[in-house]
């Protein structure tokens, strides 16, 4: 059974290393083994206690096929006090086909960066660092989440620590004349109970231009919040706390990105909490005034019969079902892809698309799910695959069952520990990042052609 080194500190523990002494974080940045596995050990319960043997008849094994690797490395990060390193989130596209993303380390001050990759005529991509984060008491640092883009070409994101109150920030980067970009901090999260802190999920726009997100910690119960930022006429943004998670049955540590439905309700996951202490899927319903109302759609129980610890959010499919992943649980203890289907009366029924198995060529420790227009699902995994360094997988429905295809297996030279979600281009190619590996062992941006 795969076991995570218990001496490696997780960034996702309640008081994780990102909020400790920044000098310590920087000095240990070169510890390659810690960086490879820091996303793998993100649970508050030891992985060594996972159950890996299923009861007879508990699992219908899905067909799996591996195909020739179709991955291209677009860029390998350098980490030379100019470039970034260790990207945790998928990049995003603008209308011109440029890619934008974040790195948790590197940049001019080694506290992370925002970068742009632009396609070069004749082939290849050129990188430009748009912003280097700094530990200066105002700027945030170590952005683990990705970016969102508005209609004016401005970029928005979060940093997990930093800011004037040390609880993290929401920032905006705006293009300026001459090719430079300027940063504005839209919100400084405060440590304590009056605000959330430690944001690690991607932001989400509504049709009116308001921003929505979550923080892993803070709030009335110190278990994280969901928040809204509204632009104020003239200048600035106003924060509203939509919900404070209670740390118990109502969930704890909402790492996942939020998702809207057509009625304006928000959906997400918490990694911990719930009646089974293994995380939940929740819905937040708007209220005319005051906090939004939380409804629990599913409580994970772990073991061989259910997943546990959903690190990422959920996405809607074309039929109205919600799809997501759990880091662990399931028949082999190595995570699941699950589906929640509405069955009326506000109730949802869970089924499983895949139980991950730490046996090549399958991946394990899955990241977020993305869906294409045909209803196929795509997931990258932090580890596993043919070479043990992670994989990109496709799940397609055919003949009444879901079939798994291994699109790519990482071998460290082309990246290792793929992280976050995947993103499509207009032709259906997939793009993502690896936290480490590549030409300089500092992570990569990659493309996979399904």
pLDDT tens-digit series, residues 284-340: 999 888 899 999 999 999 999 999 999 999 999 988 999 999 999 999 999 999 999
Locate the domains of the chain by residue range: 17-43+81-388
> Which has the higher per-residue pLDDT, 20 or 188?
188
The pair of three-digit structure tokens given for residue 12, joined into one six-digit string? 């996702």
Residue 234 — pLDDT band, cuts 50, 70, 90?
Answer: confident
CA dist., res. 296 & res. 315, Å (int): 16
Q: Supply the pLDDT for residue 328.
A: 97
What φ, ψ does residue 412 adopt, rounded to 5°? 80, -40
pTM of the model as a whole: 0.86
What φ, ψ does residue 428 adopt, rounded to 5°? 90, 10
> Which has the higher per-residue pLDDT, 34 or 245?
245
Q: Supply the pLDDT for residue 290.
A: 85
Residue 421: exposed, middle, or buried by beta-carbon count in 10 A (0-12, 13-18, 19+)?
buried
Residue 44 — pLDDT band, cuts 50, 70, 90?
Answer: very low
Q: Which residues contact 229 (CB under 8 A, 6 or more apart)?
A: 170, 186, 187, 210, 211, 212, 213, 237, 238, 239, 240
pLDDT tens-digit series, residues 147-161: 999 999 999 999 999
Q: Supply the pLDDT for residue 424.
A: 96
Q: What percent of the chain has pLDDT over 90?
A: 79
The pair of three-digit structure tokens given for residue 102, joined into one six-digit string? 């974040």
CA dist., res. 257 & res. 269, Å (int): 8
Q: Supply the pLDDT for residue 413.
A: 95
266, 292 contact by CB (below 8 A): yes
Residue 5: exposed, middle, or buried by beta-carbon count in 10 A (0-12, 13-18, 19+)?
exposed
Of 252, 262, 215, 220, which is closest to residue 19 (Cα–Cα)?
A: 215
Q: Supply the pLDDT for residue 27.
A: 34
Is 46 a residue whose pLDDT tops 90? Answer: no
Number of other CB atoms surrounding residue 78 within 10 Å? 17
227, 200 contact by CB (below 8 A): no
Query: To which CATH superfamily is domain 17-43+81-388 assigned?
Result: YVTN repeat-like/Quinoprotein amine dehydrogenase (2.130.10.10)
Is 39 a residue whose pLDDT tops 80? Answer: no
Q: What percent of the chain has pLDDT over 70?
A: 85
> Which of 16-25, 135-144, 398-407, 413-422 is predicted least confidently?
16-25
Q: Supply the pLDDT for residue 180.
A: 96
DSSP string computed for 357-398: -SSTT-EEEEEEEEE-TTS-EEEEEEEESTTSB-EEEEEEEE
Q: Lay out the sheet containing 225-231: strands in order across.
A: 204-205, 211-215, 225-231, 237-244
Pairing between β-strand 391-398 and β-strand 377-384 as defined by DSSP bridges: antiparallel
Number of other CB atoms surrounding residue 123 within 10 Å? 6
CA dist., res. 269 & res. 299, Å (int): 10
393, 379 contact by CB (below 8 A): yes
Beta-bridge partner residues of 252 = 272
Residue 12 — pLDDT band, cuts 50, 70, 90?
Answer: very low
The pair of three-digit structure tokens given for residue 334, joined into one six-digit string? 């190595």
pLDDT tens-digit series, residues 88-103: 999 999 999 999 999 9
> Which has the higher per-residue pLDDT, 216 or 35?
216
Is 238 a residue whose pLDDT tops 60? Answer: yes
pLDDT tens-digit series, residues 355-397: 999 999 999 999 999 999 999 999 999 999 999 999 999 999 9
Average pLDDT in the 239-263 region? Answer: 97
Report DSSP state, residue 120: P
Is 344 a residue whose pLDDT tops 80? Answer: yes
What does the CA dihedral 103, 106, 112, 118 come to, rounded to 10 degrees?
-50
Q: Supply the pLDDT for residue 399.
A: 85
Residue 82 — pLDDT band, cuts 50, 70, 90?
Answer: confident
């Amino acid at each position: 059974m795969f076991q995570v080194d218990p001496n490696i500190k997780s960034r996702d523990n309640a008081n994780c290393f990102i909020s400790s002494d920044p000098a310590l974080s920087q000095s240990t940045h070169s510890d390659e083994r810690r960086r490879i596995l820091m996303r793998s050990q993100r649970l508050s319960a030891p992985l060594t206690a996972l159950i890996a043997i299923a009861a007879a008849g508990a699992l219908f094994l899905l067909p799996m096929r591996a195909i020739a690797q179709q991955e291209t490395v677009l860029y390998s990060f350098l980490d030379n006090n100019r470039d970034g390193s260790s990207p945790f989130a998928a990049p995003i596209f603008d209308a011109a086909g440029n890619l934008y993303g974040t790195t948790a380390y590197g940049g001019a001050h080694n506290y992370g960066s925002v970068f742009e990759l632009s396609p070069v005529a004749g082939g290849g991509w050129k990188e430009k660092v748009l912003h280097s984060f700094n530990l200066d008491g105002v700027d945030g640092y170590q952005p683990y989440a990705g970016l969102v883009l508005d209609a004016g070409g401005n970029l928005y994101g979060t940093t997990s620590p930093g800011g004037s109150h040390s609880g993290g920030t929401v920032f905006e980067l705006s293009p300026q004349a001459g090719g430079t970009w300027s940063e504005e901090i839209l919100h400084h999260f405060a440590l304590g109970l009056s605000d959330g802190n430690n944001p690690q999920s991607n932001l989400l726009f509504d049709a009116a231009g308001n921003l929505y997100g979550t923080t892993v910690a803070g709030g009335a119960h110190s278990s994280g919040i969901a928040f809204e930022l509204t632009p104020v006429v003239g200048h600035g943004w106003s924060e509203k706390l939509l919900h404070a998670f209670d740390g118990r049955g109502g969930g704890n540590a909402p790492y996942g990105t939020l998702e809207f439905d057509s009625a304006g309700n928000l959906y997400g996951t918490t990694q911990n909490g719930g009646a089974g202490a293994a995380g939940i899927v929740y819905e937040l319903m708007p209220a005319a005034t005051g906090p939004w109302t939380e409804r629990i759609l599913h409580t994970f129980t772990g073991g061989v019969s259910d997943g546990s610890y959903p690190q990422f959010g959920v996405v809607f499919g074309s039929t109205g079902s919600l799809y997501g992943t759990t880091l662990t649980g399931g028949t082999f203890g190595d995570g699941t892809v699950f589906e929640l289907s509405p069955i009326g009366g506000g109730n949802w029924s869970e089924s499983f698309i895949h139980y991950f198995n730490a046996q090549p060529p399958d991946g394990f420790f899955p990241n977020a799910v993305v869906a294409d227009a045909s209803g196929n699902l795509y997931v990258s995994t932090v580890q596993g695959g043919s070479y043990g360094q992670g994989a990109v997988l496709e799940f397609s429905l055919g003949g009444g069952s879901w079939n798994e295809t291994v699109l790519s297996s990482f071998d460290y030279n082309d990246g290792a520990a793929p992280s976050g979600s995947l993103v499509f281009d207009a032709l259906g190619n997939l793009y993502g990042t690896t936290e480490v590996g590549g030409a300089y062992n500092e992570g990569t941006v990659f493309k996979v052609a399904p």
